[in-house]
Amino acid sequence: MSQTVVIDGNEAAAWGAALSRPDMVAVYPITPQSSLVEYLAKFIADGRMDADLMDVEGEHSVLSVLHGACLAGARTYSATSAQGLAYMFEPYFRTPGLRLPMVVSLVNRDSVSPTCVWGGQQDAMTVKEVGWIHMFCETQQEICDTIPIAYKVAEHPEVMLPVNVNHDGNYLSYGVAKVDLPDQAVVDAFLGEKSINWHACLDPERPMAVDPLTGGATGAGPATFVRYRKGLCGGMRAALDVIVEAHAEWGRKTGRHWSPLIEEYRMEDAEVALVTIGSMSGAAKDAVDEARLDGRRLGLVKIKTFRPFPVMQMARALAKVRAVGVVDRAVNFGWNCGPVFQEVLAALYHLPVRVPAMSFIGGLAGADITVEHFAQAIERTLRLAAGETAVEPVWLNEND
């Protein structure tokens, strides 16, 4: 039987992981992820979860022990944030290249320096080109549901890529909400048998060399390397359909239907659209509703899947609007705008017409992006639609 509980986002992630029955969980604490791994440790200690707990000496080893376990055939889970992700980066970069179907939660946090332990998506946005699939959750319920979905995607034979399930630090990690925990049997039926990547395994019964040297100026090396790289792109491409199918099946089994790639909110007749990602989307939707009450034709596109980027879905969703305002919780230094903004611009390039777009940056270092902030963003985007130019990003919390 499913069970209704009131829990925070970290506990929702722990439940999502527990329901997915990983063989191995590796943990190292970091704010704001810490309570998540404490929940997991408690679940295992209480026998609610049958997994091996490896509490290791740092995030570098968190991912490394899971690499080993995964290469031996295990289903694995972990979670980290900002500095932990930075310390994990060396094995993190290697994971998609090895095509290891792992799931790791990122409890998004702004990255040092300046020193900060609060929410922000700088951690995830800094690793967006590495080859992990990235999904972003809006609510505690979506966190709990997305983790089993992530395993389904990661282990799909056409995908075989690691997945980061992102949820915002502070707002989601510590924010409490009602969550329906799906029945274990439902999740078991959804996930089916664990799918192992036998093309990269360490088993005396299937002896092989994993990750031999490739590349070099001549011979078979460079072409071999290119095949690996293209294969990874192929996995990303295949993931788009698999993510849609997995969400659909989850909806059929649980009754909860999440938009798999992007969610279009009141976009049918929208003339101006906001693009959001993560927990900010709730307040943004309220602001859209208020603008609608004022007679403005506002809509919103929420990004659920950020990698692979749903380029065509995004382009189609924004094809009919006259201006787009993209709200980021991170900074793209050098472009000096939001990273999601850059992604949206690249998607808009696929349209026959030029749609004006502008960048809003808010919610850094744990700052609140309120409905009022979104109202300002809407006003500014409406002026963009009316012909005003926008060169610099708008920093929403600059004068808070």
Give the footprint of other proteins on this chain (CB under 8 A). Answer: 23-24, 26, 52, 54, 56-58, 60-61, 64-74, 90-91, 94, 201-204, 206-214, 219-221, 224
Cα separation, 8 vs 141, in Å, equals 10
Cα separation, 273 vs 243, in Å, equals 24
Looking at the DSSP assignment, which residues form a beta bridge with residue 6? 178
Cα separation, 280 vs 276, in Å, equals 7
> Which is nearer to other proteins, 93 or 395 (by Cβ)?
93
Smallest gap from Cβ 43 to other proteins, in A, equals: 17
Residue 163 is inside which H or E element, if any?
Answer: strand 163-168
Smallest gap from Cβ 73 to other proteins, in A, equals: 6
Cα separation, 312 vs 377, in Å, equals 25
Smallest gap from Cβ 98 to other proteins, in A, equals: 9
Smallest gap from Cβ 41 to other proteins, in A, equals: 15
Smallest gap from Cβ 113 to other proteins, in A, equals: 23
Residue type, 228: Y
> Which is nearer to other proteins, 31 or 214 (by Cβ)?
214
> Which is nearer to other proteins, 28 or 360 (by Cβ)?
28
> Which is nearer to other proteins, 74 or 267 (by Cβ)?
74
> Which is nearer to other proteins, 22 or 299 (by Cβ)?
22
Cα separation, 236 vs 346, in Å, equals 17
Smallest gap from Cβ 30 to other proteins, in A, equals: 16
User: Which residues touch 286 (CB under 8 Å, ≥6 apart)?
Assistant: 371, 374
Short-list 159, 162, 9, 165, CA closest to 76: 162
399: DSSP letter: T
Sheet holding 262-265, edge to edge: 262-265, 298-303, 272-277, 323-328, 357-361, 394-395
Give the orientation angle of helix 184-191 with respect to helix 221-254, to 10 degrees.
140
Cα separation, 129 vs 329, in Å, equals 17
Cα separation, 336 vs 359, in Å, equals 10
Looking at the DSSP assignment, which residues form a beta bridge with residue 302? 263, 276
Smallest gap from Cβ 52 to other proteins, in A, equals: 5
* Burial letters 155-170, b for 16+ CB under 10 A, else e: bbeebbbbbbbbbbbb
> Which is nearer to other proteins, 220 or 346 (by Cβ)?
220
Smallest gap from Cβ 18 to other proteins, in A, equals: 17
> Which is nearer to other proteins, 45 or 72 (by Cβ)?
72
> Which is nearer to other proteins, 206 or 354 (by Cβ)?
206
Smallest gap from Cβ 60 to other proteins, in A, equals: 6
> Which is nearer to other proteins, 57 or 269 (by Cβ)?
57
